[in-house]
Amino acid sequence: MYAGLDGIAIDLPALHVKPTHGEYVPMNIEVRDPLWPMRDMFNFTFSVKPGEAHTLWLDTRDRILPNDKSILITIASASAEFNASSLEGAEVQLIFKPYKDAAKEHIADRLTQVRDNFSNMTEEHVNSRRLKYLQPLLCRHYGPAAVDPSNDLGRKYWHEWNPETAAPDYTAPTVPEGVPQWAFLQALDVDYFKRIADFYIDKRQAWDGEFGGGLGDDSDFTNLFPVACLDGHGAGEVEDVAL
């Protein structure tokens, strides 16, 4: 179906149970992400009065649904009387929107998940497709490049883990006239590294000086600082800097 999930409508029947909190009974509805079932896509806690039916509109994150996956919905109640028969007559409707509109949120979420997990994948190099958390992020059927093959960042993530595929387009920066290319690119690399270092110092450094990854990771990170320092100096100054 050329469409994406917009949300879920649930017709909740009147519950024939005793109130547990004043006149009300607390309820919870959890919708697992069909692309990553280990995570919630929607989690809503609310209360109802026994004997009153309600229609709930769950405005989930937009998803392009794969054909071979299901949607898991869990409905729970604070009432000990609540059971499967309490939901007799309930109805669930999946509401869809045009593919191109749903793809925007779908791709944004995929890129966020890849970014949040990519550092762990890179350091440990956990490249087995059998790993649950790797599949939804980088597999061809779920990754951002699957829904939008023209997505530049999605293609770069995909190519990093699938180097046998065609590399994304790359346009080298324009080198100013009269400047050696190697020198210009080296200065550009130092600037990129400075931005990374500044980010960790300004945004991640703890009160005791740690960057948040423990002393082992901190030392790995600061080991890169002399390299950036050497890159930023001329060849005649390398010996002094190294000392």
Amino acid at residue number 19? P
Instruction: Check if the beta carbon of residue 31 is closer than 8 Å to that of residue 40.
Output: yes
Give the model's pLDDT for residue 236: 40
Instruction: Check if the beta carbon of residue 43 is closer than 8 Å to that of residue 8.
Output: no
Distance CA 137, CA 53 (A): 39
How many domains are contained in the chain?
A: 3
Inside any domain, residue 170: no
| Residues 6+ positions from 48 with CB-CB distance below 8 Å | 12, 15, 24, 25, 27, 54
At 25, is the secondary structure helix, strand, or coil?
A: strand
Please check whether residues 94 and 7 belong to one and the same domain: yes
Q: Name the residue among 214, 168, 205, 39 with its Cα closest to residue 112.
A: 39
Inside any domain, residue 173: no
Please check whether residues 40 and 111 belong to one and the same domain: no
Q: Name the residue among 142, 68, 64 with its Cα closest to residue 96.
A: 64
Amino acid at residue number 178? G
Distance CA 90, CA 14 (A): 9
Please check whether residues 154 and 198 belong to one and the same domain: no
Q: State residue 195 phi and psi, 5-degree precision.
A: -65, -40
Distance CA 211, CA 208 (A): 9
Query: What residue numbers bound the domain in which 44 lies?
Result: 3-99
Please check whether residues 209 and 147 belong to one and the same domain: no
Helix ranges, 43-180 (H): 99-124, 135-138, 144-147, 152-161
Q: State residue 88 phi and psi, 5-degree precision.
A: -60, 125
Please check whether residues 70 and 15 belong to one and the same domain: yes
Place of tokens 């069909």: 34
Give the model's pLDDT for residue 60: 93
Q: State residue 155 phi and psi, 5-degree precision.
A: -65, -35
Please check whether residues 227 and 192 belong to one and the same domain: yes
Give the model's pLDDT for residue 59: 95
Give the model's pLDDT for residue 144: 63
Inside any domain, residue 176: no
Give the model's pLDDT for residue 3: 93
Distance CA 105, CA 217 (A): 33
Inside any domain, residue 208: yes
Inside any domain, residue 27: yes
Instruction: Check if the beta carbon of residue 16 is closer than 8 Å to that of residue 79.
Output: no
Inside any domain, residue 195: yes
Pairing of strands 91-98, 25-33: unpaired
| Average pLDDT per consecutive 10 residues, the chain (243 residues; last block may be shorter) | 93 96 96 85 95 95 86 95 95 95 90 77 62 55 66 80 80 91 89 88 83 70 80 50 38
Q: Tally the residues of the chain.
A: 243
| Residues 6+ positions from 167 with CB-CB distance below 8 Å | 159
7's enclosing H/E stretch is strand 3-12
Inside any domain, residue 167: no
